Each structure stands twice: as structure tokens, then as C-alpha cells.
Amino acid sequence: MVVTAAMTVAPAALLAAVFVVMFCEAKEKHNQHSEFTIEDLVCSVSDLFGAGTETTSTTVRYGLLLLLKYPEVTAKVQEEIGHVVGRHRSPCMQDRSCMPYTDAVVHEIQRYINLLPTNLPHAVTCEVKFRNYLIPKGTTVFTSLTSVLHDEKEFPNPKVFDPGHFLDESGNFKKSDYFMPFSAGIIEITLGPLG
């Protein structure tokens, strides 16, 4: 199977089209209080394409490469899918809790590939004291997501692709507070597929 950016562009394009229609309808009705200004439209569409497309398609591409590299992992995922979903229906969200191994593999792909190692830049809105440092208001700060995703204590052998990082001794899915590919802190973005 070939995964192209187009496969993730399609839903974004659909949403962009919905925004355009809403914008036009709002304008047609001369609704002065409408949220749909041309600026909102441009921001929403560029957010969807810029933030939502490349991240998802690159993650899927890396995921497929890892599944090719580790056929024993792929076989276990296939077995779990066959057992829980089978061949006669589409998967649904309720299946997720019954698929700890597949859930762990998806998490491990995101942890291992460390897609956005330094997150996006942020600025402190007030003077901040952090350990022995005083960070003046307005300073641009980068949070190192690598330092968390590849933390050696939380994930032994962090450079090794191992779904066991997210499984307990009984094979149940093990949540980790160190799983933060979508950012850190209270502004954590939850638009991603696992968010």
C-alpha cells in the first residue's frame, strides 16, 4: 500500500470546503456578528493543512516502515485485529480498549519517531523563575519533547522500538505521563489522532 500526503489531505480538504461554504453562507446573510471572517477562514484552512496534514502522513509513513522492519510486531497486530475486529465489519472506537497490543504499537511509533523533537516555539507571558534561571517576559522558549519521549528511566532502551514500553507484565496497555508527542503542559494540543 502506498500512503501519500493526499490520503491525509483529503479530510482536511473536505473540512476546508465546509469552512468556505459556512463563510459564504454567513456573508450572504450579511451576518455582521459571524465568526467567519476571511481572516478566520485563512487561519483555519492553513492550520488544517499546515498542522494536520504533514504530521499525520509522516507518522503513518514511519509507522508502516516500522511495521515492515519488525514483522513479528506486525504479526501480533494482525492477530489482534483479526481476533477483535475480524473481517466482516469496520473497526470502531470501542475496539480500542480491547486492543492493548495495537494501542501500544501506535503509541510506540509516536514515541520512537519523536516527530516534533523541540515542539513549536512559545513565549512566556510573564517573568518566570525556573530552577536557577529567571526567564524575562516575552522570551521564546522551546520544550524538548525528546527529553521526555526518550527518557531512559520511563522507557528503558529508548532508542529501541519496543511496544513493551506501553505494556505491563500481563500485556495490558500501560499509560505513560511521558507520552507527549502533541506538546507538553497545560496548552497540550489534542487535535491529533491520539489526542
Compare residues 25 and 47 and give the one whose CB is closer to ligand HEM: 47
Give the residue nearest to ligand HEM (CB): 52
Q: Given the rule CB under 6 A, which residues bind ligand HEM?
A: 47-48, 51-52, 55-56, 59, 115-116, 119-120, 181-183, 187, 189, 191-193
In whole angstroms, what is the distance from residue 27 CA to residue 146 CA?
45
Buried b (16+ CB within 10 A) or exposed e, 170-191: eeebbeeebbbbbbbeeeeeee
Instruction: Report in angstroms how near the CB of residue 149 gets to ligand HEM at its nearest.
Output: 11
Per-residue cell: 101: 497490543
Compare residues 106 and 167 and give the one whose CB is closer to ligand HEM: 106
Give Cβ neighbours of residue 192 (< 8 Å, ≥ 6 apart): 55, 56, 181, 182
Alpha-carbon Rg for the chain, nearest whole angstrom, is: 21
Instruction: Report in angstroms how near the CB of residue 173 gets to ligand HEM at its nearest.
Output: 18
Per-residue cell: 153: 528511566
Compare residues 32 and 190 and give the one whose CB is closer to ligand HEM: 190
Instruction: Report in angstroms how near the CB of residue 143 gets to ligand HEM at its nearest.
Output: 7
Compare residues 125 and 170 and give the one whose CB is closer to ligand HEM: 125
Instruction: Report in angstroms how near the CB of residue 181 gets to ligand HEM at its nearest.
Output: 4
Compare residues 63 and 163 and give the one whose CB is closer to ligand HEM: 63
Instruction: Report in angstroms how near the CB of residue 8 gets to ligand HEM at its nearest.
Output: 8
Instruction: Report in angstroms how near the CB of residue 132 gets to ligand HEM at its nearest.
Output: 25
Compare residues 18 and 120 and give the one whose CB is closer to ligand HEM: 120
Q: Tell me how crowded residue 111 is: count the other CB atoms within 10 A of its CB.
A: 27
